Structure 1
Amino acid sequence: MDKDAPTVAVVGLGVLGLVALKNLTEAGFNVTGFDRNDYVGGLWHYTDEDKTSVLPTTIINISKERGCFTDFPFPHDTPSHCTSGHVQQYLESYVEHFNLTKSLRLGTTINIVKRDDKEDRWIVDIEGSGPEYFDKVIIATGINSRPHLPALEGIEQFEGQVLHSRAFKRPELFKGKKVIVVGMGNTGADTAAALCGVADKVYISHNHGALVLPRVLNGIPFDHTMTIRKAAIMGFLELNFPKLADFLFNTMLKKMQDKVYNIRPEWNLSPAPPVKHAVPIISDNLVSLLEAGQILSVNGLKRVSGPAEVELDDGTLLEADAIIWATGYKTEFTLLDRNVDPTRHTTPKWESAIGSRGKPLPRLYQNIISLDHPTSLAFMGCVAFATGAFPLYDLASMALAEIWKGNSNLPSIKEMNRAVDRQHDFICSIAKDGSAAPGWVRQGEWVDWANKAAGAGVNEHLGWGLKGWQFWFQDREFYKLLMDGIYTPFVWRVFDGKRKAWGGARAEIEKINAEVAERNRLKKVN
């Protein structure tokens, strides 16, 4: 590492921080990663402590073929939908493979990150050792930092347990109890399922419907049906005919659901809100548990009506020994000095929208780059669309590395502010009609920006321009495999460009598609 290279502090060493550290290091920066835990992996590392983490029983929702990093596949003997333990091992192997250990400062608590304008540097104040100075900072503490706890009338008189799903670790502690899980999302479904066979009664309380999708459809991971060609078509429609794009996407998902599950009216799962308001629940057992009566679907909570009783929106009274809030998180940046906190100015339209639910809306260019200090402060964790976090933030940090390296240009501050205003208008238009994730973006538009900034060359080689026609003419078989095969993250490392390509990308893409095709052939034969 060049000692004169710009120094970068990455705060948080979960998935987002690890991939940012790796990509910035690869681009020639002198990077140090900090985490208050004594392990890497963030929420993918199970812990009994009251910290956000997976459960030992957690199974990934996105297949390993589509949910990995762009230049580091899962071991080939790993199941497509593996356990959280597999993911933790994968992340530890990632650190070892790219020789990142020397750049990690684990078990380190940061008090505050603030700007020293006089020295044109960032001060990272570390508990127990004082300030250290860096040229640039990436905040990668993620979106699962502060539990979102809705207000509930009368909660002070409830004598049972009240906890956020973050603190739910051991189902056996609820043996024989009547438990209400609040929130019909992936976390709520997983929490309720984990309680079955242990708790006396398991209720799942919700105010809206939901789509429920299996991990595997017709013997194939359902996300294998998404191809680059389909993503390109949806991106074009999303940008030019957004209502049609929403209709087609939601219709396609509902057809997938109805092909596998018979959703009963009494569960109040239909009609499901559009994906932009609520992502589908990925579960292999929620429907069967509802059918068996092991999970009871009930209306939203209205108030606590007694020491061990709650009233629902429809007037129903339920006995309860515990309430578990599976209601998500609020993004917060309390480690940052308020003067550079991107949430310090919130768009009024967002605050008044019913779907904002009190969550902050950061002002960030492309939901990554600080408008206060675009060349030295960035954030990982504020971009969201229907894909996995691993490839999304791999691409995001590749783009950031090339921008900070000077290989890709940023617009003027005025233009970046206009872009943020447009993004906020977009997300506020969603939030006025229902729940909205603050980081939700138009997928095709954002990916096109990130591809260009990272210099990955994917849209150029698979598009309608000269490079696209040349690639198609010279390598038609591989072109078709990229367009219509499994949309693997390795595509972002195939072509030479600004960022480092991976020499094994093509072979891995061909291998994965061949292996999956053979597995599918054998299933049909048997």
Structure 2
Amino acid sequence: MGTELKCARVDGPIIVGAGPSGLAVAACLAQNSVPSVVLERSDCIASLWQCRGYDRLKLHLPKQFCELPLMGFPEDFPKYPSKHQFISYMNSYAARFSIQPRFGQSVKTAEFDSSCGLWRVRTQDVEYISKWLIVATGENAEPVIPEISGIEKFRGQFIHTSVYKSGLDFRNQKVLVVGCGNSGMEVSLDLCKHNARPHMVVRNSVHVLPREMFGISTFGLAMCLLKWLPLRQVDQLLLLVANFTFGKTDRLGLRRPKTGPIELKNSTGKTPVLDVGALSKIKSGEIKVMEGVREITEKGAKFVNGQEKEFDSIIFATGYKSNVPSWLKSCDFFTEEGMPKTPFPNGWKGEKGLYSVGFTRRGLQGTASDAVKIAKDIADQWSTIKDANNTCNAHFIPRIDSQKK
């Protein structure tokens, strides 16, 4: 016999996820005098940053491009805030808008009940009921570890970057880093600084850009140029400066995609690498670039070019994925990969009171944009709705305290 769920009616929206996306939309709702309940499976806000971020992690973009709505970063924060500074900002943000998530609430299923026109969101011990559901679990909910033949044979340690903290744990080791995005590059750089010998697998093409050009952040420069020039011309200029700064990265085993960096980011979500020092280590040979892995062996790996090497540890810098399909039921708003079918800037609103925030593939700027739109849309409805409209045994379902500013 299973434990019977408590039933709780929520006055405002149910927000699933207490990362930056969930906090942003809760704050915007509070600003519009709309209460909400935030459900979070972990025991803290911004768990991706607090629990899964490595020690040297910093924002890749200047802080002005990473602010959430209604509250900027402290003026004394550096241009690129550290992991701990970003967490501090998140905590201050939640406190300012009196956001108090219900921690330890892992959503098992969420489904629209057409018989009463309400959403039923079930955790391990409570069924929450509301007219609105906001999916704020984001693009990076679950670590991705690719299926590679032979991984179960490997006698050394293998981990995902979600549990990597510092190269100190790998001092003097020969380490295979699978993945060459921003995380793969930064982890490889961190390993170098702790006397490890990283070998970074580059399976696909990748754009590497300087973090700054002419003393201005590359991203900021691109955003400025896009106001005046077509996207492809901006990409051409970025690549021109990148080639002048780095030389041809193809010689280092880093093939560039045929599509430009900004166009590729907008169409696929694949972010260009903003270099913070790894490229010089690749040039010096301290970071070895390897082709794709064909097979993992007991002591190391075989590569597609026929090479075979021994390694003490393997680190998967292979990113994250959405987990929405595992719990949001009978809903065709999201793809099988857990992303809204309608692309940015119109992927924030579905049908029957369903919304999504944090799925724009445009970082925290996209999150902020969607949070503002969602709050306004719900606030417009809120002003015309009375308690009597919430049916489905409303008189017998206890209310749950919602968050108010």
- Relative to the length of structure 1, the TM-score reads 0.64
- Asked whether the 8 Å contact 1:263–1:287 carries over to 2, the reply is no
Kindly indicate whether residue 15 of structure 2 is the aligned counterpart of residue 18 of structure 1: no
CA distance in 1, matches of 2:11, 2:320: 33
SS of match in other structure, 2:158: strand
Say if 2:368 is the partner of 1:391: no
1:120 aligns with 2:122: no
Partner of 1:363: 341
Task: Report deviation, 1:301.
Answer: 1.0
For residues 278-427 of structure 1, what are the structure 2 equivalents within 5 Å?
A: 278-304=270-296, 306-334=297-325, 336-340=327-331, 342-343=333-334, 359=337, 362-364=340-342, 366-370=346-350, 374-385=351-362, 389-406=363-380
Amino acid at match of 1:392: G
Greater helix fraction, Structure 1 or Structure 2: 1
**TM-aligned CA distance change 1:295 to 1:341, over 3 Å:** same
Amino acid at match of 2:356: F
The aligned residue for residue 194 of structure 2 is 198
Aligned residues: CA RMSD: 2.5
Q: Are the aligned partners of 1:35 and 1:106 in contact in 2 as well (CA < 8 Å)?
A: yes
Tell me the secondary structure at the aligned position of residue 142 of structure 1. Answer: coil
- Which runs of 5 or more structure 2 residues have no equivalent in the other structure? 1-8, 382-405
| Corresponding position of 2:60 | 61
Distance 1:59 1:153, change over 3 A: same
Q: Relative CO higher for 1 or 2, CA cutoff 8 Å, sep ≥ 6?
A: 2
Q: CA deviation at 1:281?
A: 0.7
How far off is 1:80 after superposition? 0.6
Does 1:231 find its partner at 2:226? yes
Distance 1:38 1:156 in 2: 31
Give the CA deviation at 1:54: 1.7
> How many Å apart are 1:14 and its aligned residue?
0.5
CA offsets per residue over residues 452-511 of structure 1, 9 Å max, x none? xxxxxxxxxxxxxxxxxxxxxxxxxxxxxxxxxxxxxxxxxxxxxxxxxxxxxxxxxxxx
Q: Which residue of 2 aligns with 1:252?
A: 237
Residues 133-171 of structure 1: CA deviation (Å, up to 9, x unaligned):
212111111111222222222333222222222122242
Runs ≥4 in structure 1, deviation > 6 angstroms? none
Task: Report if the CA contact (8 A) 2:167-2:196 is conserved.
Answer: no
**Could you say what secondary structure the match of 1:378 adopts?**
strand
Query: CA shift at 1:340, angstroms?
Result: 2.3
Match of 1:241 in 2: none
Q: Unaligned 5+ residue runs, structure 1?
A: 48-52, 238-244, 347-358, 408-526
Which of the numbers 28, 37, 42 marks the counterpart of 1:37?
A: 42
- For 1:394, give the aligned amino acid: A
How many residues in Structure 1 have an aligned counterpart in Structure 2? 364
Which whole-Å deviations, capped at 9, do the CAs of 1:409-452 have from their partners, x for residues lacking one? Answer: xxxxxxxxxxxxxxxxxxxxxxxxxxxxxxxxxxxxxxxxxxxx
Distance 1:65 1:361 in 2: 26
Q: TM-score, normalised by structure 2?
A: 0.82
Query: Hey, what's the Cα distance between the residues in 1 that align with 2:168 and 2:205?
Result: 29
